[in-house]
Structure 1
Amino acid sequence: MTEPRHRAIFWVDIAGSSALSRTDLDRHNARAGMYRALRRAFRRARLPWYIYGNRFGRHREDRGDGLFCLVPPSVPKNRLVAALPALESALEDYNRDAPEGAVIRLRVALHAGEVHFDPEGVSGNAMDYTARLLDAPEFKTSFAGSGSYLGVIASDWFYKNVINQNPKHQFGQYSLTVVTVRGAGAPEAYVRLFPRSAPPAEGPWRLPVPPRPVRAAVALAVLAVPLTAAPGEAPVAACAAPPVQVKVRVSTEKEAIVRGLALEFERDTRGPDGCRRADVNVVSASYPGGAREALHQGWLTRDPKEVLDEADVWLPDSSLEVEQVREALRRNRIGTVRLEAREPVATSRLVLAVPAAMADDLGLSGHTVAWDDVLGWPGRGYSFGRASPRASSVGLVATVALYQAALGTSILNESALTRGDAASRLHTVEQAIAREDDDPGKLLCAMRESPPDGELRRTALLVSEKSLIDYRGNAPLGSGGCGPGGPSAQPELRPFYAGNGMPLFDHPFVTITRAQPPAAARQRVIDAFHRRLRQPDAQARLKDAGYRDASGTTTARQDAIPSLLPGLDLTEKVHDEPLLDAWNKARKSARVLFAVDVSRSMAAPFPHIGGDRVSAAADAIGLARPLMGVRDQIGLWEFADGIGDGDGDHRSLVAVGPPDPERIEHLTGRLGDLASTGRAPGLLPAVRAAVREMRKDDADPDETTRAVIMLAHGAGSGPGAAEAAALAEELSSGDPVRVYVVAFHPESCAAGLDRVTQAAGGACYEIDGMTAMRRALDGIAAGLWGTPP
Structure 2
Amino acid sequence: MGRHSLPDGYATDGSGDGSPPRRRRTVVIATMLVLAVAAGTAVAVQGGVLSFSKSCEDSAVRLTVMASPDIAPAVRAVADKARTDETRSDGHCLHVQVVARDSYKVADALSAGTRTPDYQIWLPDSDLWLDRATGSGDGIPVVPGDSIASSPVTLALVPSAAKALGWPKKKYSWAELMASSMESDKVRLGAADPGRSATGLLALTSIAASSDKQGGDSDTRVAATAKLLAQRTSDGDTQVLETLAQDSSGAEEGNPQRNQAVLLSEQAAFAHNAGSTGGGKLALFYPKDGTPLLNYPYTLVNGKELSTSESRAALRFMTLLGEESAQRTLEKHGFRTTDGTAGESLVSSAGGRKPQPYTASPATAPSAAELQETLGMWTITVQSARLTTVVDASGSMATVVPGRNQSRMDVTKASLIQALGQFTPNDEIGLWEFATTLDGAKDYRRLVPTARLGDPAKGGTHREKLAAAFAALQPVPDGATGLYDTTLAAYKEAQSTYVKGKFNAVVILTDGSNQDDNSISRSGLIAELKRIADPERPVPLLAIAVGPDADREEVEEIAKVTGGGGYQVNDPAEIQAVILQAVMTAGQGGRAPQE
What is the match of residue 510 of structure 2?
Answer: none
Task: Rate the CA distance shift 1:348–1:246 in 2: closer, same or farther, 3 A.
Answer: same
Q: Distance in 2 between matches of 1:421 and 1:325?
A: 34
Q: Secondary structure at the match of 1:567?
A: coil
Q: Which structure's CA Rg is the greater one?
A: 1
Task: Rate the CA distance shift 1:424–1:535 in 2: closer, same or farther, 3 A.
Answer: same
Task: Rate the CA distance shift 1:518–1:571 in 2: closer, same or farther, 3 A.
Answer: farther
What is the match of residue 530 of structure 1?
Answer: 318
For the Cα contact (< 8 Å) 1:301–1:310, is it kept in 2?
no
What is the match of residue 432 of structure 1?
Answer: 228
Task: Rate the CA distance shift 1:443–1:247 in 2: closer, same or farther, 3 A.
Answer: same
Task: Rate the CA distance shift 1:427–1:542 in 2: closer, same or farther, 3 A.
Answer: same
For the Cα contact (< 8 Å) 2:245–2:253, is it kept in 1?
no
Q: 1:443 aligns with which of 205, 216, 240?
A: 240
Q: 1:709 aligns with which of 419, 442, 455?
A: 455
The letter of the residue matching 2:60 is: P
Task: Rate the CA distance shift 1:384–1:401 in 2: closer, same or farther, 3 A.
Answer: farther
Q: 1:244 aligns with which of 44, 61, 73?
A: 61
Q: 2:297 aligns with which of 488, 508, 514?
A: 508
Q: Distance in 1 between matches of 2:222 and 2:177?
A: 14
What is the match of residue 388 of structure 1?
Answer: 193
For the Cα contact (< 8 Å) 2:190–2:233, is it kept in 1?
yes
For the Cα contact (< 8 Å) 1:312–1:512, is it kept in 2?
yes
For the Cα contact (< 8 Å) 1:552–1:563, is it kept in 2?
no
Q: Deviations over 1:523-568 (max 9, x none)?
A: 2211221121111121111111111123433232432436512212
2:203 counterpart of 1:398? yes
What is the match of residue 487 of structure 1?
Answer: 278
RMSD (CA atoms): 4.2
Q: Distance in 1 between matches of 2:494 and 2:61?
A: 63
Aligned positions of 1:591-740 closer than 5 A? 709-713=455-459, 733-736=496-499
1:253 offset after TM fit, Å?
Answer: 0.7
What is the match of residue 607 of structure 1?
Answer: none
Aligned positions of 1:307-456 closer than 5 A? 307=116, 309-326=117-134, 328=135, 331-334=136-139, 337-342=141-146, 344-366=147-169, 368-377=171-180, 378-381=182-185, 382-408=187-213, 424-433=220-229, 434-449=231-246, 451-455=252-256
1:364 offset after TM fit, Å?
Answer: 4.1
Q: Distance in 2 between matches of 1:548 and 1:585?
A: 35
The letter of the residue matching 2:380 is: K
Q: Distance in 2 between matches of 1:332 and 1:508?
A: 19
What is the match of residue 282 of structure 1?
Answer: 98
Identity, in percent, stands at: 20
1:575 offset after TM fit, Å?
Answer: 4.8
Aligned positions of 1:252-271 closer than 5 A? 252-269=69-86
The letter of the residue matching 2:234 is: D
Q: Distance in 2 between matches of 1:458 and 1:247?
A: 37
For the Cα contact (< 8 Å) 1:504–1:569, is it kept in 2?
no
Task: Rate the CA distance shift 1:713–1:436 in 2: closer, same or farther, 3 A.
Answer: closer
Q: 1:567 aligns with which of 362, 368, 376?
A: 362
The letter of the residue matching 1:339 is: V
Q: Distance in 1 between matches of 2:292 and 2:100?
A: 23
The gaps in structure 2 that reach 5 residues or longer are 1-52, 387-420, 428-447, 461-491, 503-575, 585-595
For the Cα contact (< 8 Å) 2:111–2:132, is it kept in 1?
no
Task: Rate the CA distance shift 1:732–1:263 in 2: closer, same or farther, 3 A.
Answer: closer
Q: Deviations over 1:326-357 (max 9, x none)?
A: 3x1xx1444x6132322x21111001112332
What is the match of residue 520 of structure 1?
Answer: 308
What is the match of residue 271 of structure 2?
Answer: 470
Q: Distance in 2 between matches of 1:245 and 1:394?
A: 32
Q: Distance in 1 between matches of 2:57 and 2:175?
A: 65
The letter of the residue matching 2:458 is: A
The gaps in structure 1 that reach 5 residues or longer are 1-235, 411-419, 475-484, 592-623, 634-686, 692-704, 715-728, 739-778
Q: Secondary structure at the match of 2:286?
A: strand
Task: Rate the CA distance shift 1:301–1:733 in 2: closer, same or farther, 3 A.
Answer: closer
For the Cα contact (< 8 Å) 2:191–2:264, is it kept in 1?
yes
Number of aligned residue pairs: give it: 353
1:301 offset after TM fit, Å?
Answer: 6.1
Q: Deviations over 1:67-124 (max 9, x none)?
A: xxxxxxxxxxxxxxxxxxxxxxxxxxxxxxxxxxxxxxxxxxxxxxxxxxxxxxxxxx
For the Cα contact (< 8 Å) 2:192–2:200, is it kept in 1?
yes
For the Cα contact (< 8 Å) 2:244–2:260, is it kept in 1?
no
Q: Deviations over 1:217-252 (max 9, x none)?
A: xxxxxxxxxxxxxxxxxxx99778441121211101
Q: Secondary structure at the match of 2:66?
A: strand
1:310 offset after TM fit, Å?
Answer: 3.4
Q: Distance in 2 between matches of 1:356 and 1:535?
A: 37
The letter of the residue matching 2:274 is: G
The letter of the residue matching 2:98 is: V
For the Cα contact (< 8 Å) 1:553–1:563, is it kept in 2?
no
1:405 offset after TM fit, Å?
Answer: 2.6
Q: Deviations over 1:476-501 (max 9, x none)?
A: xxxxxxxxx4425x3x4321111121
Q: Secondary structure at the match of 1:568?
A: coil
Q: Distance in 1 between matches of 2:162 and 2:246?
A: 19
1:730 offset after TM fit, Å?
Answer: 9.6
Task: Rate the CA distance shift 1:547–1:448 in 2: closer, same or farther, 3 A.
Answer: farther
Q: Distance in 2 between matches of 1:397 and 1:706?
A: 30
Task: Rate the CA distance shift 1:731–1:537 in 2: closer, same or farther, 3 A.
Answer: closer
What is the match of residue 498 of structure 1?
Answer: 287
TM-score normalised to structure 2 length:
0.51
Task: Rate the CA distance shift 1:580–1:276 in 2: closer, same or farther, 3 A.
Answer: same
Q: Distance in 2 between matches of 1:240 and 1:467?
A: 36
1:584 offset after TM fit, Å?
Answer: 0.8
Q: Secondary structure at the match of 2:306?
A: coil
Task: Rate the CA distance shift 1:361–1:579 in 2: closer, same or farther, 3 A.
Answer: closer
For the Cα contact (< 8 Å) 2:108–2:132, is it kept in 1?
no
Q: 1:584 aligns with which of 372, 375, 379?
A: 379
Q: Distance in 2 between matches of 1:355 and 1:582?
A: 29
Q: Distance in 2 between matches of 1:430 and 1:406?
A: 13
For the Cα contact (< 8 Å) 1:352–1:495, is it kept in 2?
yes
For the Cα contact (< 8 Å) 2:233–2:240, is it kept in 1?
yes
Q: Distance in 2 between matches of 1:337 and 1:459?
A: 41
Q: Distance in 2 between matches of 1:241 and 1:557?
A: 41
Q: Deviations over 1:434-486 (max 9, x none)?
A: 42111222222221447132236664311000111122222xxxxxxxxxx44
Q: Secondary structure at the match of 1:511?
A: strand
For the Cα contact (< 8 Å) 1:383–1:432, is it kept in 2?
no
Task: Rate the CA distance shift 1:367–1:493 in 2: closer, same or farther, 3 A.
Answer: farther
Task: Rate the CA distance shift 1:713–1:575 in 2: closer, same or farther, 3 A.
Answer: closer
